Structure 1
Amino acid sequence: MHRSPTAARRARRPRLDLRGAVAVVTGAASGMGLESARLLAARGARLALVDRNGDALETLADELRAGAASEHPQVTTHVVDLSDLDAIAALPAEVLAAHGHVDVLLNCAGVSMLGRFEQLTLEEFRWVVDINLWGTVAMVQAFLPALRERPTAHIANVASLYALGAPAGRVPYVTSKFAVRGFTDALRHELEATDVSVSAVYPGGVQTGIIHHARVAASVPSDVAARAASAQSALYRTTAAQAAERIVEGIERRRPRVFIGRDARLTDLVTRLAPVGYWSVMRGIVAKAGDTSAPA
C-alpha cells in the first residue's frame, strides 16, 4: 500500500535522545512540571526552568545541579508570568544565549478557578484563559523558530482530562483546556512534514496543588470553595512523579497523545462512545467537586 511522503516521514521519526538535549519547562516550580524537570535532568537533558515562583525555581535548580544522578546538568531559571506576553516573547533570546539551542518545549503551567459560570466575572474567566491557553500559545510561537532549527524536536502541551469531558463547575478551566487540545492537534497537523513532533497530554486526577491554590470567584464563600476543592482533590489518584514518567516517555517516543491515569483513558473512551450521554456518568463522580453553591 502506497503511503504519502508525510505519512512515511512520521513513520520513520527517530526517538528523541534526551542526553544533552535542551528542554524548556513551564510550571517547573511545582507539581508535574517540577517532577518532569527532575526526570528530564536524570536522563541527561539541560534545562531552562520557567515559573513565576522564583524562589521555588532556584531551590529546584540547586537540587538538580547538585544531584549526581542528574549528571550535573546545565540549569537556568527564568521567572515569567505566563499572562505577560511581552515577557514570553523575550524569553527565547535569554534561553538561547544560555543554552545555544532548544530541543523540547514542555508546557505544564496552568491555573484553575473555583466557581460556576454565573458566579464568575469576565475578568476572572479571562485570567484562567490568559494563562492556560494564551500562555501556551505564546510559548509555542516564541520557541517554534528555535525548535525548527533542530534535527529532532518536540512540543508537549499539557491539556487535561477536562479537555476530554466537560464537567459543570469548571467552565473557564474546561474552556481553556479544550482550546489547548484543539490548538495542539491543529499544530501537530501543520508540523507533520517537519522535524518537530507535538504531544497533547491528558492528565486525569494528579496529586498536585493546583486545586488548593486555585483562585476563587469573589462571589463564592471561602468555606464553600474549600469544600469543593477537597471534593476535587479526593478524586486524585496519580502522583506527580507517576505523571512525569508518562510525560517524559511521551516526549522521548514523540507520541501524539499521552494519557495519564485510568480515569483519563476511561473519559476518552466514554466521551467518544456517548458524546452527550457521558455526563450522566460523570455527574455522579464530580458533582461535589463542582458544587460551589452556598447551603440554603
Structure 2
Amino acid sequence: MATYHGGELSVQRRAGLQGRAESALRAIKTTFPEVAVAFLAQQPMIVIGAADPSGRLWATLLTGEPGFLQATETTLAVGARPHPQDPLAGVLAAPAKVGMIAIEPGTRRRMRVNGTSSPTPDGLLITPDQVISNCPKYIQQRTPAPVLSGPRELLRGSELTPRQQRAIEEADTFFIATASPEGDADASHRGGNPGFLQTLSPTRLRWPDYPGNTMFLTLGNLELNPAAGLVVPDWTTGSLLHLTGTAETVWNEAETSAFPGAQRLVDFTVEEVREATAAMPLAWTPPAYSKFNPPTP
C-alpha cells in the first residue's frame, strides 16, 4: 500500500490538508492500468528526472514517434536515450532511480511514473514504484506541428544570461525534478500564464505554488532534500533550458499574497545552466491557456 514519507506528511500538515492527502493515496498505483498503457503508447515525449553522481538533480525530455513508450502492467520500455550532451546521458547509461511525467498538451492529460531505470540496447526499461494520474489543471493546450530540424548547440554557464531570463519570464510551462533523501526521484509539471515563473536575479527564480492534488510529492521532497532540477522547453524552437540547484518553500503570507491564486511560493537558486538548442524535434502550435491559470502579478 502506498504511503507518504516524513517530508510529504510535514508539508501536508502545515498546509492543513492531511485528510485530503490521505484520501489521495488511492490514486497512487504500483502497476500500469490498461488506460495508462494506452495513454503512454500515444505519446511523442516524456519528461525524466534523476540525480547525477554528485547528487544534483536534472530534468530533461525524451521524444520519439508515438509508440516509443510501451508499457506492460509492470514495466515501461522507452525507445530513446538522452543525447550524449544531455546532463542525464551518463546517469541513464547505468541503473538509476528516476521520476517521469508523460504529458499530452492537446488533451491536458498527464501521468507520473516513479521507479528504477535500466539501460537497454534501444533505450530504457523502467520498473515503477509509483504510477499516478494527475488532473488537467494549469496545462496549456497545444498540439504538435511539423518536426523541427537544425544544428544542436550546448551552452553552459553558472548563471542565466539576459536572453535566458527573458525566455523564463515568457514561459508558461516547466518541469521540476526532486528526490527524497533516499534518492527516490520524482518529476512534476508546473504551468501558468506567462510571467508566473519569475527571475529575481541571474541565479534566483521564484514561482507560485497553486492548489494541486494535495499529495505534495515535490514540496515534500524539498522539505528533506533541497536539490532540484528544472527543464524549461521552448515550444517554438525546440530548445531546452536545463537548470540545477536548490529550492525552498516560502510560507510567508505577505510575500505569497502578491501572487493571485498562490498558496505558497518556491524559490530556486541556480547552480548550473545548460541550454541545448534544437534539442526537442517537435514544434507545437500556439497555446490555449488553461482556464485554471490565475492571473500573474
Same fold, TM exceeding 0.5? Answer: no
When you count helix as a share of all residues, which structure comes out higher?
1
- Report the TM-score when normalising by structure 1: 0.28
When you count strand as a share of all residues, which structure comes out higher?
2
